[in-house]
């Protein structure tokens, strides 16, 4: 009876080589348990299932399980599934798995949309219609630039909503902005560009990706008017012009003009990360920088904030000179966004459902931002334009609490939030906390706001 139990989804990628035989398989399972990949108490695959996965005799797996049970790594019980032993029962020689940090009760982590707002019915309808109209040939090896239907839909959408000079033949669909940064860093390196400037502060993950793909990083400071363009001295730069992350400011009009003139004069490449350009609340959205110099600016957009990060759908609108190099880099990377998701997004855009969803989300996030601002104590100083999914609370005044104290007070209340100092490159700048008002579900936003206010009062009163 016990042999009929199946796996509960446990990681069975054991790194086992068949030539090591039964001892090697036992070692691989021990290592999976010691490292925490096979979590204490988790159901392990049945002997039949694991034998089939590994291509070995079932008796081999049975003997290995029996040996590991005798050693205390596994727990067996007649009529019940075999499980990894609980943490307290594991052999003392095995390092205890590091417990995973629990998800915060109140999620104010920045850069995250409200996932409960994902338009499930519209997405389902779009997927169904896309499948109905897709030709059999569409399921073969498609264009490296992305599904033609999505590239055409994006060209129209970006032109009317963001002012981008978009052409489907210059548009590439990739697997999120991280993938885009890796592709562009590699392409620039092949063209002799090995240094990229980043705003300071900025998200460290993208700087790390650029470094991993051959780029040196040159930090350029940001002030109340955005990137200090006069300090640029690199052949490439990544900029969040519409809404700087994390400082929350917009690149001033005179600096937008100065940046594109500089790029045209020097031949530099500007990578415009328009990560939340649809969400401006106090005025009409500022158009994309790309329209000022389309042969020198790479426009990058994403569905991660408007729909959901898990879709891993992003897009680049490229200068003509970069289209073929990026196409080749896409081939080398081997990464492709799923075709069905591309077709569904194309249908969502062309049907008008995407615009309706963005308008609903914009209204909701604007109301949340207003409510959060109204609830904050007067001892903290909000910074940034009315836009996006986060609010920066600066802590650099003479009577301001330390960032570490605020974060500690938030942790005590199980609030997920981020500090500002981690995003400075090189010498640390002023402290602050970055509160994301997009992440909580609608019913949880009031509680999250109240918890944050209590944490701030604790350290400021």
What class is the 119-354 domain? alpha beta
Q: Let me know how long the chain is.
A: 461
Instruction: Name the nearest CA neighbour of 248 among 184, 284, 199, 321.
Output: 199
Residues 6+ apart with CB under 8 A from 48: 3, 58
Contacts of 378-384 with CB under 8 Å at 24 or more apart are 379/456, 379/460, 380/456, 380/460, 383/247, 383/248, 383/249, 383/432, 384/243, 384/244, 384/247, 384/248, 384/249
273-278 average pLDDT score: 96
SS3 state at 198: strand
d(CA 231, CA 218): 10
Average pLDDT value over all residues in the chain: 91
- Given a cut of 90, whether residue 110 has pLDDT beyond it is yes
Question: Do 369 and 391 contact (CB within 8 A), yes or no?
Answer: yes
Write the pLDDT tens digit of every residue in 11-59: 556 777 777 888 888 888 988 888 788 888 888 888 888 888 788 888 8
106-114+355-460 folds as: 3.90.1150
Q: 2-89 and 119-354: same fold?
A: no
* Domain boundaries, given as residue ranges, for the chain: 2-89, 106-114+355-460, 119-354
The correct CATH number of 2-89 out of 3.40.50.10190, 1.10.1270.20, 1.10.10.10, 3.30.70.100 is: 1.10.10.10
Give me the pLDDT at residue 8, please: 43
Write the pLDDT tens digit of every residue in 300-351: 999 999 999 999 999 999 999 999 999 999 999 888 999 999 999 999 999 9
DSSP state, 99?
Answer: P
- Prior bond of 246 cis (ω within 30°): yes
Scored b (16 or more CB within 10 A) or e, 253-270 reads eebbebbbebbeeeebbb
């Amino acid at each position: 009876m016990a042999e009929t139990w199946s796996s509960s989804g446990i990681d069975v990628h054991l790194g086992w080589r068949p030539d090591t035989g039964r001892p090697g398989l036992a070692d691989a399972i021990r290592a999976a348990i010691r490292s925490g990949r096979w979590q204490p108490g988790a159901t392990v695959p049945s002997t039949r299932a694991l034998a089939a996965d590994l291509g070995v005799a079932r008796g081999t797996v049975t003997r290995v399980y029996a040996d590991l049970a005798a050693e205390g790594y596994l727990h067996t019980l007649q009529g019940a599934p075999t499980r990894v032993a609980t943490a307290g029962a594991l052999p003392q020689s095995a390092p205890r798995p590091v417990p995973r940090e629990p998800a915060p009760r109140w999620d104010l982590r920045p850069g995250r949309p409200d996932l409960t707002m994902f338009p499930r019915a519209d997405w389902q309808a779009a997927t169904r219609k896309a499948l109905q109209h897709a030709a059999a040939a569409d399921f073969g090896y498609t264009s490296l630039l992305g599904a033609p239907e999505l590239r055409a839909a994006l060209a129209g959408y970006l032109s009317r909503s963001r002012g981008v000079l978009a052409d489907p033949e210059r548009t590439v669909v990739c697997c999120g902005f991280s993938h885009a940064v890796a592709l562009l860093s590699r392409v620039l390196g092949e063209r002799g560009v090995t240094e990229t400037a980043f705003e300071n502060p900025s998200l460290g993950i993208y700087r790390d990706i650029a470094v991993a793909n051959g780029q040196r990083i040159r930090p350029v400071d940001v002030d109340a008017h955005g990137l200090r363009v006069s300090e640029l001295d690199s052949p490439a730069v990544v900029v969040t012009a519409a809404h700087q992350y994390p400082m929350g400011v917009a690149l001033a009009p005179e600096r937008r003009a100065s940046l594109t003139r500089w790029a045209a004069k020097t031949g530099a490449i500007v990578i415009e990360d328009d990560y939340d350009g649809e969400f401006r609340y106090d005025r009409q959205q500022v158009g994309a920088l790309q329209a000022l110099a389309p042969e020198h600016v790479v426009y990058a957009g994403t569905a991660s904030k408007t729909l959901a990060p898990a879709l891993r759908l992003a897009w680049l609108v490229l200068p003509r000179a970069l289209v073929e190099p990026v196409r080749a880099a896409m081939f080398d990377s081997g990464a492709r966004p799923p075709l069905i998701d591309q077709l569904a997004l194309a249908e969502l855009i062309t049907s008008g459902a995407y615009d309706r969803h963005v308008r609903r989300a914009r209204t909701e996030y604007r109301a949340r931002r207003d409510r959060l601002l109204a609830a904050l104590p007067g001892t903290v100083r909000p910074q940034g334009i009315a836009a996006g999914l986060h609010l920066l609370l600066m802590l650099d005044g003479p009577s301001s609490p330390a960032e570490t104290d605020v974060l500690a007070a938030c942790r005590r209340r199980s609030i997920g939030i981020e500090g500002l100092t981690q995003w400075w490159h090189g010498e640390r700048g002023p402290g602050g906390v970055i509160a994301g008002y997009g992440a909580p579900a609608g019913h949880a936003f009031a509680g999250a706001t109240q918890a944050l206010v209590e944490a701030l009062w604790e350290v400021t009163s």
